[in-house]
Amino acid sequence: MKNILIVGAGGQIGSELVPHLQRIYGADHVVATDIKADTKSSQKLAQNGIFEELDALNAAQFAELVGRYRIDTIFNLVALLSATGEKNPQLAWKINMGALLNSLEIAREHRCAVFTPSSIGAFGESSPHDNTPQDTVMRPSTIYGVCKVTGELLGDYYHSRFGVDARSVRFPGIISNETLPGGGTTDYAVEIYYAAVRGQEFVCPIPQGSYMDMMYMPDALDAVVQLMEADPAKLVHRNSFNITAMSFEPSAIYEAIRRRRPDFKMTYNVDPVRAAIANSWPNKMDDSCARAEWGWSPKWDLESMTDDMLRVIADKYSKGLI
Ligand code: AKB
């Protein structure tokens, strides 16, 4: 990777992936783009490096930027997440598939590599829920999942048909302290830390006992770079690799926080849409193919992540930054 373009850079993953890539490849080699230039995260990206306003559905503008900056690697992070997608499935399809198709087509024309995340959301009720295999039944019940499975197939198609170096991981819920996620089913595992630091009771929308795979952002960032730098000859799979760092259900994260903040309180007000989505997803994926093919090995678990999340968020809170 020499010159990198990130579409949808202002979101939860992009706002941390951009500085991570800048540290490794140099700020002059990373172009962050987002549909809105006036959000807090876009303004921060613009202050710290190259930023361009880009609607990923505008193929001509997208291609012009790829040509102008001599881009060789595209990171497509544009997506409506699982719960938001259910509110407007047609829009979710238009945005999620439109951004991906443009990324792959422009990559074909300009000979770029492409990273685009898939998700645990690509699985469904009929997939095995425990130790969900890399290759198994994938019949998701959400439009988000339908887009993810289609995207995985498209990535492999562009690779076999046109030689586009398309790679992807199935991300679990990503937990981070820079930019909040929005509209996902796993968002509760981020929001709970903010409530704990603010001294508020947390009302959990996910039912007790509903296990999902999760990962702390530093591991997610390492995964992306490690996969994109992996020797292609060693990749049996491409789109997309199961990766996970931990699996827990709401009472486990609540207890982890309570061990550090004994006064913290959580109650449940289950959101039926999110609950149904969570229950259709894996409890825990088998990520042995990622470990074998490109050395995936997460560093953070629930305990170390909880220490770090509470420390970082409390520090921002004490400085009035959140
Ligand atoms: C969501 O909850 O929709 C996302 C995901 C797991 O893909 N965080």
- Give a three-class secondary structure readout of 145-170: HHHHHHHHHHHHHHHHHHCCEEECEE
Among left, alpha and beta (phi > 0; psi -120 to 50; other), residue 271 is beta
* Residue limits of CATH 3.40.50.720 in the chain: 4-172+217-242
Closest residue CA from atom 6 of ligand 1: 173
Assigned token pair, 220? 């997610």
Residue 144: name the closest of 78, 76, 82 by CA: 82
Cα–Cα distance list, 120 to 144, 164, 237, 262, 286 (Å):
10, 24, 16, 32, 11
What does DSSP assign to residue 178?
S
pLDDT at 108: 98
- Do strands 212-216 and 246-248 pair parallel, antiparallel, or not at all (unpaired)? antiparallel
What separation in Å is there between the alpha carbon of 125 and the centre of ligand 1?
A: 16
How many DSSP H helices and E strands does the chain contain?
A: 12, 16
pLDDT at 1: 77
Which ligand 1 atom is the nearest neighbour of the CA of 172? Answer: 6
Strand partners, 149: none
Helix (H) or strand (E) holding 292: helix 288-294
What separation in Å is there between the alpha carbon of 13 and the centre of ligand 1?
A: 12
Assigned token pair, 98? 């439109």
pTM over 0.85: yes
Q: To which residue do tokens 């190259």 refer?
A: 50
Q: Which of 13, 80, 82 to mutate to test the pocket of ligand 1 (most atoms within 8 A of CB)?
A: 82
Residues with CB under 6 A from ligand 1: 81-82, 119-121, 144, 171-173, 181, 184-186
| Count of CB atoms situated within 10 Å of the CB of 101 | 18
- CA–centroid distance for 295 within its chain: 19
Please state, in angstroms and rounded to a whole number, the distance separating the CA atoms of residues 315 and 88. Answer: 37
Closest residue CA from atom 1 of ligand 1: 184
Q: Which residues of the chain have pLDDT under 50?
A: none
**Cα torsion 274, 279, 280, 285: sign:** positive
What separation in Å is there between the alpha carbon of 53 and the centre of ligand 1?
A: 25
Which CATH code is given to the segment(s) 4-172+217-242? 3.40.50.720
* Residue limits of CATH 3.90.25 in the chain: 173-214+245-283+300-318
Helix (H) or strand (E) holding 143: helix 143-162
What separation in Å is there between the alpha carbon of 170 and the centre of ligand 1?
A: 10
Is 144 one of the annotated active-site residues of the chain? Answer: yes
The verdict on domain 173-214+245-283+300-318 having CATH code 3.90.25 is yes
